């Protein structure tokens, strides 16, 4: 049982890190593409915005369902804790 909790907590942290890394990588790629390949008329701000939006959209599409499952998991933990408190009274 403790191993399950540990793996669940590590997985949550892993997903959180990935959720932050994807927009950062998107921003970096957007700026590089704007400078190197003369996209967006060499305007790095537009490359920044496009990369950020692409990263956020990828986060929503790929990791949105996992976030919903993690929220359900935490809600179930709270319900279980409340039921244990009621039983102990």
Q: What's residue 58's pLDDT?
A: 92
Q: What's residue 55's pLDDT?
A: 92
Q: Global pTM? A: 0.71
- Give CA torsion, residues 32, 36, 41, 43, to 10 deg: 40
What confidence tens digit (pLDDT) does each residue in 48-74 have? 898 999 999 998 998 888 888 888 988
Residue 86: pLDDT over 70: yes
Domain count, the chain: 1
- Residue 9's domain comprises 2-88
Residues sharing a CB contact under 8 Å with residue 50, sequence separation 6 or more, in sequence order: 30, 40
Span 15-39, mean pLDDT? 87
Q: What's residue 64's pLDDT?
A: 87
């Amino acid at each position: 049982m403790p191993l399950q909790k540990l793996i669940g907590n590590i997985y949550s942290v892993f997903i959180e890190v990935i959720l932050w890394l994807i927009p950062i990588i998107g921003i970096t790629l957007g700026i590089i593409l704007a400078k190197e390949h003369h996209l967006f008329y060499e305007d790095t701000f537009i490359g920044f915005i496009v990369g950020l939006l692409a990263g956020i959209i990828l986060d929503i599409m790929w990791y949105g369902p996992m976030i919903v499952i993690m929220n359900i998991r935490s809600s179930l933990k709270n319900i279980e804790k409340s039921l244990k408190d009621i039983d102990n009274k």
